Chain A
Amino acid sequence: MKRNVHRTLLGVIVSLALLLSACSANKPAPAPSQAPAQEGASKTEATSTPQGEKIVHIGIVNAPITLNQINDQGDSASDNVLALLNDSLLDLNEKFEFIPKLAQSVETADNQTFVVKLDPAAKWNDNTPFTTADVAFTLKLALHPKVETNFRLNFIEGLNDTGKLEEGVTEISGLHIVDDHTFEVKTKTKIDPLIFKERFGTKVFFLPQHILKDVNPEQLATHPYFQKPEVTIGAFKFGSFVKGQYAEVVKNPSYYRAIAKLDKIFIKVLPAANLVAQLQTGEIHMNSIPVGLIPITDYEKVTGFSNVELTSGNSSVPPELFFNAEKISDPKVRQAFAYALNRSLIVDQLLKGQGEIIDGGIPSYHPYYNKEITNYSYDPEKAKQLLKEANWDSSKPVSFLIPVGNKIREQAADILVQNLTDVGIKVDVQKFDFATLIQKVLKGDYDVTIFTRDFYIEPSSYFTLFKGDNPGNFLKYKNPEVDTLIAQGEAESDPAKRHDIYNRLQAILHEDVPSLAVYSEKRLLAVSSKVSVGKPLDIGMFNNVNEWDLNP
């Protein structure tokens, strides 16, 4: 679940930007007046940029908080910078293929022992070779019980259920170093190679042993290295980082792959309205998702920019309604909610058609999305009938907790409230900032809430939430059949069988409705015509960042 950084002012700014864009839309600027304006812009750019440097500016709305490659704190904004500075063993692309990066190959014969061969040419940006010693160093440090990390490697033999080493243990029994460029990882049980490739292959970044070898694990997080990680292994290296403002990365001239064509990349933090404005003025070249969303309300406006190419991404992870199963225990009532909601109105009007309706949390382009499921339609009569069958007390108010910050989601929630009122459900709307909302939700102090989860390639990650014995199951949802299927899905290593399990799981959850997706937005991807190679993507945007280039 995204750690949304809410900008309280965003609402005001967005609505104002709307107002301004409405003004400009009324009188389309004649072409001749636009040309001199752009000349002026390029003139100022030329004077302010040192000659010959190729620089790309990427606009995002949420500020990156950390450059710690072993602990991104779940912050997608930080992931943008981290992906530029650090290479992982494998890259994941939009077709859900894993492509070798630091690793030449990742192979397994039995789905339990994974043999990883590193690229022998791989080296840190200070020319120190990158070897299996760095891999072992990183894992032992990151998995130390007192070190915070976003690595989720609990499938490796020798680690406890939380994926950490036990207190006092220094060696990972499942990690076997073969030689300088080969290592083996043994898992506790057979697993789907997808899990290994995603969680180890793409989510693990490495720490330089020659820089950090003497560090005390308990003080690792505050080590000065993470404020200025000058030695990393990526196409770009650290330039500067001004928190809340921008991060600058510069070309790594000793990269072990083809050296980057760009000299610098700036990741610039700015409010959504300014992001659109700076795309227009050419101050930024592209956005990045999900942290640099172009408000869908600006769709027509950005389409009109002559210097920007606008496309739509895949239908993204949806905001979901989550029901407190202890308060709204009858599945019929939850189904009634599903029938009561006019979600196509939200997609057509609010998202201007740039989205689709799905019922589950897995987006439709995900390989594990169950295509057989028919979505709940908008049918208020059916909703009323179901409520009647369930003896729903219409005088009982339903508390609906809405996080502030995402304007579209808030507006969508307003429509949902209206829909629910129309079928006779009394709704008590409560809006909170994210930290407050989460506290209430964890305490069970809510009936219905709405927010958006993260994107995962590994399907089990979408279902852990529904596990009856998971302390993080804030839905208080319990279904033994679902628990069994979740356990089976996690233990099964054959992808075909997993597909069956997850299809069944999605079908049951669809009937039971512990949660309901509202809309799946096709996020807008904008890139300046000045950029010849490189553009925002849903997945793997920076995979080929060393090939990015500007038009001459």
Chain B
Amino acid sequence: MLQYIIRRVLIAIPVLLGITLINFLIIKLAPGNPVDMFINPNTPKELLDTKKELLGLNDPFFLQYFKWLLNLLQGQLGYSFSTYAPVTVMIGERLGPTLLLASASLVVGLAIAIPVGVLSAIRQNTKFDYLMTGLSFIGTSIPQFFLGLGLIYIFAIQFRLLPTGGMTTLGGSGGAWDLIRHMIMPVFVLGIVIAGKKVRYVRASMLDVLQQDYLRTAQAKGLHPFIVTNKHALRNALIPIITVVGMEIPLLLGGSVLIEQIFQWPGIGQLTIQSILSRDYPTLMGLNLVAAFIVLVTNLFTDIFYSAADPRITYS
């Protein structure tokens, strides 16, 4: 197992390099550049040329890439073209809020999806099942921005129970309760979307397991139905769910652009959009590197958990 992990980590290095090279290529191919965006006929052309020179935009493509790589080896991601802040700082201050929002939504989503999915499967083709599959269908198909704005309208504007957005009350005394109040709506929206998708997986996977012979055996042994469902069936039914959740995590950590925008959540997604629109190459490269890293790490962890949950699966 340890050998397997080491091998995977070693393979990850060239993969990461390849990803950064492709990203660099795509970013450079995108039309426009950070200097010409400041179009102003009153700005002398010489000044724009000096700026391009200072930012290293006149260097050949591969030289620019190698300069970036060299910086990376020294643990530096360079300075943002628009704010002139170190990219590591810019990403660092955004990563925390994104992690918080993502993990809270994932917990809420799974806390809804697993019990609902299991109950739906056990009571297949009952009114409860129809209602829940119907709701999960709505949960997956309702646009996030619609749900988000609807909630803002109801809870923030009509009833004034919750703040319309942000992460803390500006000028307020802060505190955990303040943070929670700001999290309720975005976490709810993301949680609903996750739950909507996952309910169907849990239900299908559970139905599959319930038809297995060993479950009939367990029932025939006279085990309590609760133990049959939760110990024998659920544990096996959740194995495929690990993969699905593992695939969800990079998406969540990449930042939910829409939700962060609507609720002004200071996360990675917002930063990504801003960097793309301002052609802020160093920040974009940094964001891509972080995203690629997260995908590789979660994939690795998914595989490890998978084998821990299902002894039949071994890596050698």
- Report which A residues bind B (CB closer than 8 A): 1, 3, 5-9, 12-13, 16-17, 20, 37, 40-41, 44, 48-50, 53, 55, 57, 63, 65-66, 68, 73-74, 145-146, 148, 152, 154, 161-164, 218, 221-222, 226-227, 242-246, 248, 264, 266, 268-271, 273-274, 277-278, 280-281, 283, 433-436, 438-442, 454, 461, 464-465, 470-474
Of all chain B residues, which has the CB nearest A466? B41
Q: Which residues of B contact A44 (CB under 8 A)?
A: 160
Quick check: is B258 within 8 A (CB to CB) of the other chain?
yes
Among the listed A5, A221, A472, which residue makes an inter-chain contact with B274, where contact means beta carbons less than 8 Å apart? A5
In the complex, chain B residues 157-214 whose Cβ is within 8 Å of any chain A Cβ: 157-161, 163-167, 169-173, 178
Task: For residue A151, give the distance in angstroms from its CB to the closest CB of chain B.
Answer: 11
Among the listed A162, A271, A433, which residue makes an inter-chain contact with B46, where contact means beta carbons less than 8 Å apart? A162
Please give 12 more A-B residue pairs, beta carbons under 8 A apart, in addition to A57-B171, A218-B54. Answer: A3-B39, A13-B262, A37-B160, A49-B173, A50-B172, A57-B170, A65-B278, A161-B44, A222-B79, A244-B274, A273-B149, A439-B32
Q: How far is the CA of A148 from the CA of B43 in the complex (A)?
A: 12
Of all chain A residues, which has the CB nearest B149? A16
Of all chain B residues, which has the CB nearest A436? B31
Of all chain A residues, which has the CB nearest B162? A44
Would A20 and B31 be within 8 Å (CB), given that A50-B173, A227-B85, A270-B165 are in contact?
A: no
- CB pairs A–B below 8 angstroms (6 shown): A9-B145, A50-B171, A146-B54, A274-B264, A277-B164, A435-B33
Q: How far is the CA of A291 from the CA of B40 in the complex (A)?
A: 18
Number of A-B contacts (CB under 8 A): 191
Q: Which residues of A contact B37 (CB under 8 A)?
A: 3, 434-435, 438
Of all chain B residues, which has the CB nearest A456? B42
In the complex, chain B residues 78-99 whose Cβ is within 8 Å of any chain A Cβ: 79, 82-86, 89-90, 93
Task: For residue A299, give the distance in angstroms from its CB to the closest CB of chain B.
Answer: 18
Quick check: is B146 within 8 A (CB to CB) of the other chain?
yes
Count of B residues near A, CB < 8 Å? 65
Q: Would B277 and A73 count as touching, CB distance under 8 A?
A: no
Task: For residue A477, give the distance in angstroms from its CB to the closest CB of chain B.
Answer: 11
Q: How far is the CA of A86 from the CA of B73 in the complex (A)?
A: 39
Q: Which residues of B contact A273 (CB under 8 A)?
A: 149
Q: Which residues of A contact B160 (CB under 8 A)?
A: 37, 40-41, 44, 281
Q: How far is the CA of A218 from the CA of B53 in the complex (A)?
A: 12
Q: Which residues of B contact A471 (CB under 8 A)?
A: 45
Task: For residue A109, give the distance in angstroms from its CB to the closest CB of chain B.
Answer: 29
Quick check: is B153 within 8 A (CB to CB) of the other chain?
yes
Among the listed A16, A40, A242, A442, which residue makes an inter-chain contact with B39, where contact means beta carbons less than 8 Å apart? A442
Q: How far is the CA of A40 from the CA of B30 in the complex (A)?
A: 49
Q: Which residues of B contact A274 (CB under 8 A)?
A: 152, 164-165, 262, 264
Give the one of B79, B83, B86, B93 with max A CB within 10 A: B83
Q: How far is the CA of A495 from the CA of B172 in the complex (A)?
A: 51
Task: For residue A479, give the distance in angstroms from its CB to the closest CB of chain B.
Answer: 15
Q: Which residues of B contact A280 (CB under 8 A)?
A: 157
Q: How far is the CA of A270 from the CA of B166 in the complex (A)?
A: 9
Q: Would A472 and B39 count as touching, CB distance under 8 A?
A: yes
Of all chain A residues, which has the CB nearest B163? A283
In the complex, chain B residues 266-296 whose Cβ is within 8 Å of any chain A Cβ: 266, 270-271, 273-274, 277-279
Q: How far is the CA of A1 from the CA of B42 in the complex (A)?
A: 9
Q: Would B164 and A283 count as touching, CB distance under 8 A?
A: yes
Quick check: is B38 within 8 A (CB to CB) of the other chain?
yes
Of all chain A residues, which has the CB nearest B157? A277
Task: For residue A418, give the distance in angstroms from its CB to the closest CB of chain B.
Answer: 28
Q: Would A16 and B164 count as touching, CB distance under 8 A?
A: no
In the complex, chain B residues 90-116 whose Cβ is within 8 Å of any chain A Cβ: 90, 93
Q: Which residues of B contact A161 (CB under 8 A)?
A: 44, 46
Of all chain A residues, which has the CB nearest B34? A435
Among the listed A12, A277, A438, which residue makes an inter-chain contact with B36, where contact means beta carbons less than 8 Å apart? A438
Q: How far is the CA of A281 from the CA of B149 in the complex (A)?
A: 15
Q: Which residues of A contact B43 (CB under 8 A)?
A: 472
Q: How far is the CA of A66 from the CA of B38 in the complex (A)?
A: 14
Task: For residue A410, give the distance in angstroms from its CB to the closest CB of chain B.
Answer: 16
Give the one of A145, A242, A269 with max B CB within 10 A: A242
Q: How far is the CA of A162 from the CA of B46 in the complex (A)?
A: 7
Q: How far is the CA of A273 from the CA of B146 in the complex (A)?
A: 13
Would A266 and B279 be within 8 Å (CB), given that A245-B266, A281-B160, A439-B32 are in contact?
A: no
Q: Which residues of B contact A40 (CB under 8 A)?
A: 159-161
Q: Would B50 and A146 count as touching, CB distance under 8 A?
A: yes
Q: How far is the CA of A222 from the CA of B76 in the complex (A)?
A: 14
Among the listed A55, A162, A243, A433, which residue makes an inter-chain contact with B47, where contact means beta carbons less than 8 Å apart? A162
Q: Which residues of B contact A281 (CB under 8 A)?
A: 156-157, 160, 164
Q: Which residues of A contact B149 (CB under 8 A)?
A: 13, 16-17, 20, 273
Task: For residue A373, give the distance in angstroms from its CB to the closest CB of chain B.
Answer: 22
Of all chain B residues, which has the CB nearest A23? B153
Q: Which residues of A contact B164 (CB under 8 A)?
A: 274, 277-278, 281, 283
Q: Which residues of B contact A53 (CB under 8 A)?
A: 171
Q: Would A65 and B271 count as touching, CB distance under 8 A?
A: no
Q: Which residues of B contact A439 (CB under 8 A)?
A: 31-33, 36
Among the listed B50, B178, B270, which residue makes an inter-chain contact with A48, where contact means beta carbons less than 8 Å apart? B178
Task: For residue A368, give the distance in angstroms from its CB to the closest CB of chain B.
Answer: 16
Quick check: is B140 within 8 A (CB to CB) of the other chain?
no
Of all chain B residues, which has the CB nearest A67? B83
Q: How far is the CA of A5 from the CA of B150 in the complex (A)?
A: 26
Q: Which residues of A contact B302 (CB under 8 A)?
A: none
Q: Would A473 and B50 count as touching, CB distance under 8 A?
A: no
Q: Which residues of B contact A6 (CB under 8 A)?
A: 277
Q: How far is the CA of A78 from the CA of B46 in the complex (A)?
A: 24
Quick check: is B261 within 8 A (CB to CB) of the other chain?
yes
Of all chain B residues, which has the CB nearest A20? B153
Q: Which residues of A contact B84 (CB under 8 A)?
A: 66, 68, 221-222, 226-227
Q: How far is the CA of A295 from the CA of B128 in the complex (A)?
A: 45
Quick check: is B232 within 8 A (CB to CB) of the other chain?
no
Among the listed A55, A162, A226, A461, which residue makes an inter-chain contact with B171, where contact means beta carbons less than 8 Å apart? A55
In the complex, chain B residues 1-54 whose Cβ is within 8 Å of any chain A Cβ: 30-34, 36-47, 50-51, 54
Q: Which residues of B contact A434 (CB under 8 A)?
A: 32, 37, 277
Would A440 and B31 be within 8 Å (CB), given that A37-B160, A277-B152, A435-B279 are in contact?
A: yes
Q: Would B173 and A48 count as touching, CB distance under 8 A?
A: yes
Q: Would B157 and A74 count as touching, CB distance under 8 A?
A: no
Q: Which residues of A contact B158 (CB under 8 A)?
A: 37
Q: Which residues of A contact B277 (CB under 8 A)?
A: 5-6, 8, 433-435
Q: Which residues of A contact B159 (CB under 8 A)?
A: 37, 40
Closest 7 pairs (CB-CB, A-B): A435-B32, A472-B41, A48-B172, A465-B41, A162-B44, A55-B171, A471-B45
